[in-house]
């Protein structure tokens, strides 16, 4: 009477009505029916069969290089040469991946790590998988090093790129050590014995060795860019020597191929790989949740220990040094050579760049 139900009937009457609608199950003396668990299992199998029968879209792997390029593995804010190279090699091995988008927003860093990534790009191309670079705000020095071998390089007119050049860095701490009463001495049999120790000043011979290595590294950079961009070493040298270019100037100098967004880069990859349908897949390192928990625990524990053991007054004195030492710790190239641009994009209070 309150219209809360549709029918009022016994179970037998319900069964009779259902037999008329869906048929009789003589074996069980009721109407034809299926348990919902069996129904879900059957429909899931149908869906899986349909997916297996239908062609799945090919993958375009999106690999991001953001922040400084360092030797070793990636951490928050930096991209490790080993990590990025492993991602590129995994994309090369995976048959579902048909092409790779390399998103670069980096001022560069370690020459060793940059070369690792460049070789990974070259190996992908050799395996028949096209690579297109999409440059962000900054893709300079080592950021350009890792980009040069791509099939196509997209940037924006305001992108900061170029900065083709390297430098050597070998910090020494003899003055700092002397201030706390630590001095060194010894006997060597050659002019270079102990020449690269961090507790001694660099001698003239050591400086010449480092400069020769830097020059060799610069020539290698120039020759690689010339080969990748189809130009002569002299032509590249004329726009290199560490000079920074806007995307607009880089296009004029032949350092990039076109202006375009990341979406334009993906569309170009589809054409290069001959794909009608594709899926853009974020290609990142798989993080073990347990190991992540351990890192977070010990990271927090070290902070607690530091706060509890070191007096607050001393912590305040150490903070300025920490701001200097932490960035320096990223200069970890095995040969002490860096392709790093001290450049970036800043927005003024008036809205300009």
The string of pLDDT tens digits covering residues 256-268 is 999 999 999 999 9
Cα–chain center distance at 239: 27
Instruction: With CA atoms as reference, report the closest residue to 221 among 111, 333, 124, 90.
Output: 111
The string of pLDDT tens digits covering residues 319-343 is 665 555 555 556 666 667 888 887 7
What is the C-alpha separation between 11 and 127, in angstroms, rounded?
A: 68
In the predicted model, is pLDDT for residue 318 greater than 90? Answer: no
The single-letter DSSP state of residue 115 is: H
Q: Which two tokens stand for residue 223?
A: 């020759």
pLDDT band at residue 150, thresholds of 50, 70 and 90? very high
What is the C-alpha separation between 22 and 15, in angstroms, rounded?
A: 10
Rg of the chain taking only CA atoms, in angstroms: 31
Pick 3 or 65 by higher pLDDT: 65
Length of the chain counted residue by residue: 353
pLDDT value, residue 338: 81
What are the residue ranges spanned by the domains of the chain?
11-52, 58-168+241-282
Instruction: With CA atoms as reference, report the closest residue to 281 among 127, 103, 115.
Output: 103
Q: At what angle do helices 81-93 and 111-126 cross, to 10 degrees?
A: 10
The domain covering 58-168+241-282 belongs, at the CATH homologous superfamily level, to: 2-enoyl-CoA Hydratase; Chain A, domain 1 (3.90.226.10)
How do the residues of the chain divide into helix, strand and coil, expressed in percent and rounded to 5? 45, 20, 35
What is the C-alpha separation between 264 and 42, in angstroms, rounded?
A: 42
Most confident option among 130-134, 210-214, 278-282: 130-134
What is the C-alpha separation between 34 and 36, in angstroms, rounded?
A: 6
pLDDT band at residue 100, thresholds of 50, 70 and 90? very high
Instruction: With CA atoms as reference, report the closest residue to 139 among 317, 340, 2, 321.
Output: 340
Asked whether 73 and 113 are in contact (CB, 8 A), the reply is: no
Q: Where are the alpha helices (DSSP H) in the chain?
A: 11-22, 36-53, 81-93, 111-126, 142-145, 174-179, 204-229, 233-239, 247-252, 262-272, 289-309, 312-329
pLDDT value, residue 223: 97
Q: Which two tokens stand for residue 177?
A: 């050590």
The string of pLDDT tens digits covering residues 195-251 is 778 788 888 888 888 889 899 999 999 999 999 999 999 999 999 999 999 999 999
What is the C-alpha separation between 72 and 48, in angstroms, rounded?
A: 41
The string of pLDDT tens digits covering residues 174-189 is 888 888 888 888 888 8
The string of pLDDT tens digits covering residues 30-48 is 889 988 888 888 888 777 7
Q: Beta strand 244-246 with 160-162: parallel, antiparallel or unpaired?
A: antiparallel
Q: Which two tokens stand for residue 294?
A: 């351990």
269: exposed, middle or buried (Cβ count in 10 Å: 0-12, 13-18, 19+)? buried
- Adjacent-strand bridge partners of 179: none
Exposure on the CB side of residue 286, measured as CA atoms within 13 A: 2
What is the C-alpha separation between 140 and 155, in angstroms, rounded?
A: 12
Q: Beta strand 337-340 with 167-168: parallel, antiparallel or unpaired?
A: antiparallel
pLDDT value, residue 314: 52
pLDDT value, residue 292: 47
């Amino acid at each position: 009477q309150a219209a809360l139900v549709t029918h009022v009937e016994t179970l037998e009457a319900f069964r009779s009505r259902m037999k008329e609608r869906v048929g009789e199950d003589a074996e069980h003396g009721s109407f034809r029916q299926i348990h919902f668990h069996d129904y879900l299992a059957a429909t899931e199998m149908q869906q899986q069969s349909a997916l297996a029968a239908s062609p799945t879209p090919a993958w375009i792997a999106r690999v991001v290089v953001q922040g400084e390029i360092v030797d070793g593995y990636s951490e928050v804010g930096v991209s490790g040469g080993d990590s990025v190279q492993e991602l590129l090699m995994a994309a090369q091995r995976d048959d579902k991946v048909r092409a790779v988008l390399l998103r670069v927003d980096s001022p560069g860093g370690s020459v060793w790590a940059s070369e690792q990534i460049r070789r990974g790009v070259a190996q992908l191309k050799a395996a028949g998988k096209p690579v297109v670079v999409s440059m962000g705000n900054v893709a300079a020095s080592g950021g350009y090093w890792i980009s040069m071998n791509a099939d196509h390089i997209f940037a924006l007119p305001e992108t900061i790129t170029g900065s083709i050049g390297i430098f050597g860095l070998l910090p020494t701490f003899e003055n700092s050590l002397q201030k706390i009463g630590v001095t060194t001495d010894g006997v060597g049999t050659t002019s270079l014995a102990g020449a690269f120790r961090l507790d001694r000043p660099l001698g003239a011979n050591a400086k010449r060795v480092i400069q020769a290595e830097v020059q060799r590294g610069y020539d290698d950079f120039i020759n690689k860019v010339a080969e990748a961009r189809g130009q002569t070493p002299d032509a590249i040298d004329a726009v290199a020597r560490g000079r920074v270019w806007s995307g607009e100037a880089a296009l004029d100098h032949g350092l990039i191929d076109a202006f375009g967004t990341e979406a334009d880069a993906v569309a170009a990859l589809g054409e290069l790989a001959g794909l009608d349908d594709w899926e853009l897949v974020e290609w990142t390192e798989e993080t073990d949740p347990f190991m992540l928990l351990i890192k977070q625990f010990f990271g927090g524990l070290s902070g607690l220990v530091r706060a509890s053991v070191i007096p607050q007054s001393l912590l305040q004195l150490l903070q300025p040094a920490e701001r200097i030492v932490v960035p320096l710790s990223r200069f970890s190239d095995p040969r002490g050579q860096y392709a790093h641009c001290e450049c970036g994009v800043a927005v003024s209070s008036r809205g300009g760049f």
